[in-house]
């Protein structure tokens, strides 16, 4: 595989090489920051509140998503990719630093940072992937996307080392202050790579495409009307995020009971996430081979099928060890193989679909699915239903439905022939 990657890089122009090599550290730093921040954020919420508050936080994320999508679509055209990226980096660094310094004195900052954290990672990845889609030829997408996802996994792995081994030394809150320098450095790499992308060389064409529908957010939603590829991508993202939200909640209920000290809980979560990152790397490398041999349809079917088998195991063995394994596997697949085969579906789409429709999927749909899951959880809590068992049954039903729509969609040849044939 390394030889194939070297051959593909050799075929790139000088500008394309600069873009590819400089976008890698930007992605690495973004994922490293999130790897360090996420277990801290999760642990602080459990410390100052409890696992029961997570559904309410996920629900609050939904209107915040609307606002972020609106602002992104509006200012992307007004300021351009580079300035919007800088504003995003600066905002993330400042908010996280304030939460890290003052959360011990004002606990609600923990909730604000948790909500912001759940949105900004998707916003940043959306911005990176949009410019990547516009800079890498679809014939080379499979190889280069796998390298990019591998770099992201390595970044997450390194990021998790910080809270995983130093949470008790530094303190969980202080780790949040590292976001600012990491994001400023990520912007430096993004800024240089941006100069070598096709976007600044044709700003008028780029602006014309993005302004083709003046309704901004409504215009982005209108792109889904009559577009079977976009509706399918939207559906699988919602199903993935809805089911993993349930798994995440089940895991946190057990985690809260198993660990009572904040820093120890942070370290456990970070070390678990490190294992997830290692699995992500394995799935990413193996995913390219799997994709090449079995094709896009079977690759998509594999995910709900494997989730179904894990769900059955936890249904009959509802232990902390089992849900930990299921949670780790689900997150590893989500970060690697699922992302790879999902991003492959965007390759033949037009610029508006890659930027604006993708913003709806990557920012709005991801967290709206979590919001929908939160409504279910809150309802079950209110009715005092046997929560963990009932959620397992619901998840199994989701996995069956997920597999069904994959089979139906590919039977109708929804996607362009060259996409399926290339994998």
Question: pLDDT tens for residues 371-381?
Answer: 889 999 888 88
Residue listed under structure tokens 């600066």: 90
pLDDT band for position 81 (cuts 50, 70, 90): confident
Query: What is the reported pLDDT for 178?
Result: 92
- The set of residues, in sequence order, having a beta carbon less than 8 Å from that of 281 and lying 6+ positions away, is 150, 153, 154, 157, 336
pLDDT tens digits, one per residue of 138-172 = 556 566 777 787 788 888 888 988 898 888 888 88
pLDDT winner (highest mean) among 9-23, 127-141, 284-298, 390-404:
390-404
Residue 198 pLDDT > 80, yes or no? Answer: no
pLDDT band for position 182 (cuts 50, 70, 90): very high
pLDDT band for position 306 (cuts 50, 70, 90): very high
Across 314-338, average pLDDT: 90
pLDDT band for position 418 (cuts 50, 70, 90): very low
At 347, give phi and psi (nearest 5°).
Answer: -55, -50
Q: Determine the Cα–Cα distance for residues 43 and 289; give it in Å rounded to an integer.
A: 37
Query: What is the reported pLDDT for 5?
Result: 57
Query: What is the reported pLDDT for 69?
Result: 73
Query: What is the reported pLDDT for 351?
Result: 65
pLDDT band for position 11 (cuts 50, 70, 90): low
Q: Output 218 or 109, whichever has higher pLDDT.
A: 109
Residue 250 pLDDT > 60, yes or no? Answer: yes
pLDDT tens digits, one per residue of 199-245 = 655 555 455 545 543 444 556 677 777 778 888 888 999 999 999 99
Residue 423 pLDDT > 50, yes or no? Answer: no
pLDDT band for position 329 (cuts 50, 70, 90): very high
Query: What is the reported pLDDT for 199?
Result: 64
pLDDT tens digits, one per residue of 256-270 = 888 877 888 888 888
What the chain holds in terms of domains, given with CATH numbers, is: 16-421 (1.20.1250.20)
Q: Determine the Cα–Cα distance for residues 149 and 155; give it in Å rounded to an integer.
A: 10
- The set of residues, in sequence order, having a beta carbon less than 8 Å from that of 196 and lying 6+ positions away, is 15, 16, 18, 19, 22
Mean pLDDT of the chain: 81
């Amino acid at each position: 595989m390394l030889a194939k990657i070297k051959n593909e890089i050799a075929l790139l122009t000088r500008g394309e090489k600069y873009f590819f090599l400089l976008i890698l550290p930007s992605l690495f730093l973004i994922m490293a920051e999130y790897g360090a921040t996420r277990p801290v954020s999760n642990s602080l919420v459990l410390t100052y509140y409890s696992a029961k508050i997570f559904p309410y936080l996920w629900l609050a994320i939904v209107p915040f998503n609307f606002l972020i999508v609106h602002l992104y679509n509006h200012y992307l055209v007004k300021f351009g990719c580079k300035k919007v990226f800088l504003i995003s980096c600066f905002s993330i660094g400042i908010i996280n630093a304030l939460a890290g310094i003052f959360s011990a004195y004002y606990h609600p900052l923990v909730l604000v940072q948790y909500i912001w954290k759940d949105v900004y990672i998707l916003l940043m990845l959306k911005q990176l992937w949009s410019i990547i889609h516009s800079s890498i030829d679809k014939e080379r997408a499979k190889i280069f996307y796998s390298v990019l996802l591998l770099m992201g996994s390595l970044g997450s792995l390194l990021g998790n080392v910080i809270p995983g081994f130093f949470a008790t030394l530094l303190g969980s809150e202080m780790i949040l202050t590292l976001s600012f320098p990491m994001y400023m450095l990520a912007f430096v790499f993004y800024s240089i790579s941006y100069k070598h992308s096709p976007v600044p060389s044709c700003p008028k064409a780029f602006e014309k495409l993005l302004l083709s529908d003046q309704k901004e957010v409504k215009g982005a939603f209108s792109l889904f009307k009559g577009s079977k590829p976009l509706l399918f991508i939207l559906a699988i993202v919602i199903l993935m995020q809805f089911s993993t939200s349930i798994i995440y909640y089940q895991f946190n209920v057990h985690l809260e009971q198993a660990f009572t000290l904040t820093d120890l809980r942070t370290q456990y979560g970070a070390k678990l996430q490190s294992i997830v990152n290692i699995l992500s790397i394995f799935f990413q490398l193996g995913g390219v081979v799997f994709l090449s041999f079995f094709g896009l349809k079977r690759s998509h079917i594999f995910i709900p099928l494997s989730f179904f088998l894990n769900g059955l195991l936890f249904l009959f063995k509802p232990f902390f060890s089992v849900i930990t394994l299921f949670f780790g596997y689900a997150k590893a697949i989500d970060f690697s193989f699922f992302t790879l085969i999902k991003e492959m579906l965007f390759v033949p789409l037009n610029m508006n679909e890659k930027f604006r429709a993708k913003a709806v999927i990557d920012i709005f749909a991801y967290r709206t699915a979590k919001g929908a899951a939160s409504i279910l959880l809150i309802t079950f809590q209110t009715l005092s239903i046997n929560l963990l068992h009932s959620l397992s049954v619901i998840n199994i039903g989701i996995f069956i439905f997920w597999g069904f729509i994959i089979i139906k969609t590919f039977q109708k040849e929804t996607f362009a022939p060259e996409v399926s044939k290339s994998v």
